[in-house]
């Protein structure tokens, strides 16, 4: 529920000029305005599930995007039933001026471009709910010496570097003829409204950043977490540890959890690189060899 000191759930990803929104609780537009990140460039909206605290900001956001005179389609991805939910919410926004392309209960990754893809996984909540993983691939370095040794014409170097295969006069040129070793990319994983379960570790594994729910700070609320299909701080930290992620940000705190900081030290004893989510917190993720 909304509180005077904390907004509801939403995450905005900015990538190469485009924006991807994950969930849209009440107040999302206010935070976006405070950040001055803009609305018009949102291409994809990922909804974890249809509980009110994750979707009630959607009609207003879409109306604001309409007022920006956007005409390009927007894709909405969500669990089973999201199509009907969006249809109901849009009763109060009858005209948008752009197409909504809804992908319900996706089975395959949603490919943004040759580098970025969005993966999803069903979570263990009280209604259909999805976790999301954003994978940014990194092309291997171009190896000039290798390209020359393999006799690859220079006019094809750029296309091969981008992963294309080229054929000329019966000769096939593949990217491996010009590229060096593989380089690690970036993985951002977003998990909220779920109990821990074995498959979740593999889904999260190796993330540069895991944003995970921490509904309950105290271990004394374990029974409540099980009953409501949520996580405690300890369980989120254990997930981060088992999945060998780089950083954990806890979010989606219970309205009764006024001061999450009181549980942070105990949580860091399990996973040291744990931080608390807060309104308009910004993280910039870089490729490993670009980090300072």
Assess contact for 42 and 13: CB atoms under 8 A.
no
Q: Is 43 annotated as catalytic?
A: no
At residue 11, φ and ψ (nearest 5 deg) are -140, 135
Of 53, 105, 143, 289, which one is the catalytic site residue? 53
171 C-beta neighbours (distance < 10 Å), count: 10
Q: Is 18 helix (H, G, I), strand (E, B) or coil?
A: strand
Radius of gyration of the chain (CA): 21
Q: Where are the alpha helices (DSSP H) in the chain?
A: 28-35, 52-55, 58-67, 82-89, 144-149, 157-161, 198-204, 222-228, 233-242, 264-268
> Residue 162 and residue 142: Cα distance in Å, rounded?
10
Q: What is the Cα–Cα distance from 172 to 43, expressed in whole angstroms?
A: 36
In this structure, what token pair is assigned to residue 250? 């806890």
- Cα–Cα distance for residue pair 95/86, rounded to 1 Å: 13
Both tokens assigned to 184 = 């690690």
CB-based contacts of 125: which residues, under 8 Å, 6+ apart?
Answer: 49, 193, 194, 195, 229
Tell me the CA distances in angstroms from 167 to 136, 170, 254, one per residue in order. Answer: 28, 6, 58
Query: Which of the residues are catalytic?
Result: 53
């Amino acid at each position: 529920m909304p509180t005077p000191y904390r907004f509801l759930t939403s995450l905005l990803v900015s990538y190469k000029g485009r924006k991807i929104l994950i969930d849209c609780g009440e107040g999302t537009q206010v935070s976006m305005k405070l950040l001055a990140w803009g609305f018009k460039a949102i291409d994809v909206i990922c909804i974890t599930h249809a509980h009110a605290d994750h979707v009630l900001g959607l009609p207003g956001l879409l109306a604001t995007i309409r007022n920006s005179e956007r005409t390009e389609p927007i894709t909405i991805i969500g669990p089973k039933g999201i199509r009907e939910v969006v249809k109901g919410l849009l009763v109060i926004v009858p005209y948008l001026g752009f197409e909504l392309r809804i992908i319900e209960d996706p089975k395959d990754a949603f490919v943004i471009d040759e580098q970025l893809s969005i993966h999803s996984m069903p979570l263990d909540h009280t209604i259909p709910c999805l976790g999301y993983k954003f994978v940014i691939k990194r092309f291997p370095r171009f190896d000039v010496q290798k390209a020359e040794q393999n006799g690859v014409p220079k006019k094809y170097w750029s296309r091969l570097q981008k992963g294309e295969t080229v054929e000329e006069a019966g000769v096939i040129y593949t990217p491996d003829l010009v590229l060096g070793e593989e380089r690690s990319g970036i993985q951002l994983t977003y998990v909220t409204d779920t109990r821990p379960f074995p498959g979740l570790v593999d889904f999260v594994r190796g993330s540069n950043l895991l944003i995970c729910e921490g509904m309950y700070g105290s271990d004394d609320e374990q029974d409540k977490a099980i009953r409501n299909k949520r996580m405690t701080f300890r369980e989120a930290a254990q997930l981060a540890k088992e999945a060998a992620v780089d950083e954990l940000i806890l979010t989606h705190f219970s309205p009764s959890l006024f001061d999450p900081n009181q549980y942070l030290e105990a949580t860091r004893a399990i996973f040291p690189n744990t931080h608390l989510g807060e309104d308009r917190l910004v993280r910039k993720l870089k490729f490993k060899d670009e980090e300072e």
